[in-house]
Chain A
Amino acid sequence: MTGERDTASAPRGGVPKPGNAGPVAPRSAAPVDAARPLPARPAGLAAALSAEAPVLDVRNLAAWYFTDEGTVKAVDGVGFKLGKGKTLGLVGESGCGKTATGLAVLGLLPPPGRVVRGEAVLGRRDLLRMPEADLAAMRGRDIAMIFQEPMSALDPLMTAGEQIAECLEMHTALDRRERAEKAVELLASVGVPEPALRAKAWPHELSGGMRQRVVIAMALACDPKVVIADEPTTALDVTVQAQILDLIEDTQERTGMGVILVTHDLAAVAQAADEVAVMYAGVLVETGPVKDVYAHPAHPYTKALLGSIPVVGQAARQLVTIPGRVPNLARLPSGCRFADRCPLAESACRAVEPDLVDLGAGRRVRCILATGRAAR
Chain B
Amino acid sequence: MSGGMVEKGRDGGSSATRGATELGGGAKRGRERGMSPFRLSMRRLARDRSAMVAAAIITAFIATALVAGTGAFGIKEAATVFNENSLDTMRYLPVGTEGHVLGTDGFGRDVLARSIMGIRTALYLGYLAGLMTVPIALLLGAVAGWYGGLLDDAVTWLMSVVVAVPGILLIMSLIQIVGKSFTTMAFAFAVTGWVGLARVVRGAFLQARESEYVLAARALGAGDARIVFRHVLPNVFHFVTVNFVLQFVGVVKSEVFLAFVGLTLVGEATWGSMIDAARSEVSSGRWQNLIGPTLFMGIFLMAMTVFGDSLRDALDPKLKNAEEVRS
A136-144, A255-263, A288-296, A298-306 - the one binding chain B = A136-144
Q: Which of A138, A145, A159, A171 contacts B216 (CB 8 A)?
A: A145
Report the bound CA distance from A137 to B226 in whole Å.
13
Report the bound CA distance from A205 to B217 in whole Å.
20
Q: Which of A152, A166, A205 contacts B211 (CB 8 A)?
A: A152
Interface of chain A residues 145 through 176 with chain B (CB within 8 A): 145, 147-149, 151-159, 166-167, 170-171
Contact with B along A309-329 (1 / 0, CB 8 A): 000000000000000000000
Q: Cβ of B135 < 8 Å from any Cβ of A? A: no
Q: Which of A140, A154, A155, A204 contacts B221 (CB 8 A)?
A: A140
> Which residues on A sit within 8 Å (CB–CB) of B131?
none
Q: Which of B21, B35, B221, B234 contacts A157 (CB 8 A)?
A: B234
Report the bound CA distance from A144 to B210 in whole Å.
19
Cβ-defined contact, B235 with A155, below 8 A: yes
* Chain B min CB distance to A252 (Å): 18
Report the bound CA distance from A139 to B211 in whole Å.
18
Interface of chain B residues 5 through 60 with chain A (CB within 8 A): 10, 13-14, 17-18, 21, 26-27, 30, 33-38
> Which residues on B sit within 8 Å (CB–CB) of A106?
219
Most chain A C-beta atoms within 10 Å of own C-beta, residue among B26, B222, B226: B222
Report the bound CA distance from A164 to B221 in whole Å.
12
* Chain B min CB distance to A204 (Å): 4
Cβ-defined contact, B221 with A171, below 8 A: yes
Q: Which residue of A lies closest to B17 (CB)?
A: A204
Q: Which of B210, B215, B217 contacts A166 (CB 8 A)?
A: B217
Interface bin, chain A: 35 or more
Most chain B C-beta atoms within 10 Å of own C-beta, residue among A153, A167, A204: A204
Cβ-defined contact, B226 with A205, below 8 A: no
Report the bound CA distance from A197 to B234 in whole Å.
23
Cβ-defined contact, A218 with B18, below 8 A: no
Cβ-defined contact, A153 with B213, below 8 A: yes
Q: Cβ of B326 < 8 Å from any Cβ of A? A: no
Q: Cβ of B223 < 8 Å from any Cβ of A? A: yes
Cβ-defined contact, A215 with B216, below 8 A: yes
> Which residues on A sit within 8 Å (CB–CB) of B17?
204-205
Cβ-defined contact, B220 with A154, below 8 A: no
Q: Cβ of A182 < 8 Å from any Cβ of B? A: no
Cβ-defined contact, B213 with A154, below 8 A: yes
> Which residues on B sit within 8 Å (CB–CB) of A157?
36-38, 231, 234-235
Cβ-defined contact, B37 with A147, below 8 A: no
* Chain B min CB distance to A300 (Å): 35
Cβ-defined contact, B221 with A136, below 8 A: yes
Report the bound CA distance from A152 to B217 in whole Å.
12
Cβ-defined contact, A156 with B13, below 8 A: yes
Cβ-defined contact, A145 with B221, below 8 A: no
Q: Cβ of A68 < 8 Å from any Cβ of B? A: no
Q: Which residue of A lies closest to B226 (CB)?
A: A170
Interface of chain A residues 261 through 313 with chain B (CB within 8 A): none
Report the bound CA distance from A157 to B231 in whole Å.
8
Cβ-defined contact, A218 with B220, below 8 A: yes
* Interface CB pairs A-B, < 8 A, 26: A137-B221, A138-B221, A147-B212, A151-B14, A152-B211, A153-B215, A155-B213, A155-B217, A156-B10, A156-B13, A156-B37, A157-B38, A157-B231, A166-B220, A166-B230, A170-B222, A171-B221, A200-B33, A201-B27, A201-B34, A202-B36, A204-B17, A204-B18, A204-B37, A215-B216, A221-B220
Give A contacts to B, CB under 8 Å: 106, 108, 110, 133, 136-141, 144-145, 147-149, 151-159, 166-167, 170-171, 194, 197-198, 200-206, 215, 218-219, 221
Question: Other CB < 8 Å A-B pairs besides A197-B27, A205-B21, A219-B220, 4 of them?
Answer: A136-B218, A155-B217, A170-B220, A202-B34
Give B contacts to A, CB under 8 Å: 10, 13-14, 17-18, 21, 26-27, 30, 33-38, 210-213, 215-223, 226, 230-231, 234-235
